[in-house]
Amino acid sequence: MDILEEFAEYISKGYLIAIMPITRVIVDVEYVAFPHGVTFYPPSYVQLDNLGYIPNKSDSTSLAEVVSAASGVTLESFDEHPLVVFPCMFRWEEFRTDNFRNHMKFLRTMSQYVDDTLDVVRYYQCEINNFHPLPGQAGTLNSNIMMSAALLFNPKIHESRIIAGDAFANRITRGLGLPLESVDKNLFPKSGEVGKIVKHALSLYSSLMESSNLTVKFTQCMSLIEFLAFPDEYKKFSDVSKIISRYVAKNAKEYQDLLERFNDLTGRKDPETNEIIGLRTRIVHLGDKIETILPDDALNMLFLDLQIYIKAVIDHMIQYSDLSWDEYLDLRNQLTPFTTKG
């Protein structure tokens, strides 16, 4: 694939091009394209030798260049990995004279930009209770788990440079990763106020999916549910549960059953002994681990239920993500399953 041809429209508008390796992604077609030009390619598919590549010098006066040279990352390293390519805007002159710390910050910023796309991919193509197929971060390398990298191309001067270093503190290692599939552009959040809220919710959802600690995953799920109900203020969970149940329940009985279920998940007390039996209170305030409270089958069902609750809200918010928050609240108030007989 010739980047100069495929990204000609972006290049004509003054964009630079970023090329990043990515781990734990399987691309078994010519490309998988997403909005804003973010496109994934299989290993060795992207032509890199026509981009005016200038290798980093180990004897450079720039410490950032010396560190990138010492990383051992070369064009061949990129050929060995699936690549994500996307247009971007930054000042080339500032990048060339910037220090190593800012180069690593820039790597993380570009990776996070790709993560906005991967958040949507994870949401539709991964399960909450299985992190084995989760994709890695853009920039990560299989050849050196401590290193991350990007190849940056300036079409105006026909020059490309590699920056590389230890930009990330941790990464997923278990499992083979995700066979990447396209996602309909209409399933991405739009640019309204609700869209901004749901983009943050998708980022939080990605974070909890990546957690291998089930107790932490559970508390993250509950925090996300609180955020989805009231993004800009704190409310008691009894208020939160009334909002979330609106999305899930189909009738008054299901609505009441869900309120009871959320009480089980939070702060329920045994009516006879007054003992706290609600899951979150036992975990947060009594120090219990969720694995010691519930057997494996019940744990699996718990996370599947939480996934249903979370996705019911996020799906609805994505559908109306072009609205302002006030407009969306008017729409949400029309969800009244508690008035429908079962």
Instruction: For the chain, give every domain's residue range.
Output: 3-186, 189-339
Look at residue 341 in the predicted model and tell me its pLDDT.
75
What local confidence, expressed as pLDDT, does residue 342 receive?
62
- Number of H helices and E strands in the chain, helices first, is 14, 8
Residue 33's H or E segment, with its range, is strand 32-33
pLDDT of residue 223: 97
**Letter string b/e over residues 315-338, b meaning 16 or more CB atoms within 10 A of that residue's CB:** ebbbbbbebeeeebeeebeeeebb
Following CA atoms 49, 147, 175, 22 in sequence, which dihedral angle do they give, to the nearest 10 degrees? -30
**pLDDT for the residue 23:** 94
| DSSP letter, residue 226 | H
The region that residue 118 occupies, defined by phi over 0 for left and psi between -120 and 50 for alpha, beta otherwise, is alpha
Provide the pLDDT for residue 145: 78
- Phi and psi (nearest 5°) for 220? -65, -40
- Which pLDDT does position 61 carry in this prediction? 86
CB-based contact 81:139 (threshold 8 Å): no
Q: What is the largest CA-CA distance in the chain?
A: 77
Confidence at residue 214, expressed as pLDDT on a 0 to 100 scale:
95
pLDDT along the chain (342 residues), means of 10: 97 98 96 98 97 93 88 93 98 94 95 97 93 90 87 98 88 81 96 97 96 94 98 94 96 95 85 76 90 93 97 98 98 88 68
Q: Give the β-pairing of 25-26 and 178-179.
A: parallel
